[in-house]
Amino acid sequence: DQQVKQNSPSLSVQEGRISILNCDYTNSMFDYFLWYKKYPAEGPTFLISISSIKDKNEDGRFTVFLNKSAKHLSLHIVPSQPGDSAVYFCAASVRGNNRLAFGKGNQVVVIP
């Protein structure tokens, strides 16, 4: 049973435009959410996170928005750069149990 869902497996966007990745979750106990970025033949690397006490967290070009009532979060990348071409995983946890539930990932291609 997939507790974290990422639909629209791939996204193509022009350089300089906004990339928006969406993630839905089913477990209402989740209170900490993360995005990981993965290049081919490398391990996932942590990108940005958000606690359930917030509805927005920003780090440079990356912003994560959380809508708890809809059990939905999104990652915005502005402006998109060719180096952002990667697979992005959404993950969620119940804070403190150190186990992450991952989505299936979204492939992002930024076209120069």
Partner 1 sequence: NAGVTQTPKFRVLKTGQSMTLLCAQDMNHEYMYWYRQDPGMGLRLIHYSVGEGTTAKGEVPDGYNVSRLKKQNFLLGLESAAPSQTSVYFCASSYAIQQATDTQYFGPGTRLTVL
| CA–CA distance, 49 with 47 (Å, rounded to integer) | 7
Contact flags string 46-75 toward partner 1, x per CB under 8 A: x--x--------------------------
> Which stretch in 14-22, 53-61, 76-84, 102-110 sits in contact with partner 1 by CB under 8 A?
102-110
Query: Can residue 32 be called a binding residue for partner 1 (CB under 8 A)?
Result: yes
Least distance from C-beta 107 to partner 1, angstroms? 11
Residue with Cβ nearer partner 1 (13 or 50):
50
CB 64 within 8 Å of CB 53: no
Q: Please give the structure tokens belonging to residue 104.
A: 């299936």
Query: Can residue 97 be called a binding residue for partner 1 (CB under 8 A)?
Result: yes
Query: Can residue 34 be called a binding residue for partner 1 (CB under 8 A)?
Result: yes
| CA–CA distance, 59 with 62 (Å, rounded to integer) | 5
> Which stretch in 2-10, 13-21, 54-62, 75-83 sits in contact with partner 1 by CB under 8 A?
2-10
Written as one string, the DSSP assignment of 30-46 is --EEEEEEE-TTS--EE
What are the Cα distances from residue 110, in Å, to 17, 23, 47, 83? 9, 20, 17, 8
| CA–CA distance, 44 with 32 (Å, rounded to integer) | 18
Which residues contact partner 1 (rule: CB under 8 A)?
4, 6, 9, 32, 34, 36, 41-46, 49, 89, 93, 95-100, 102-105
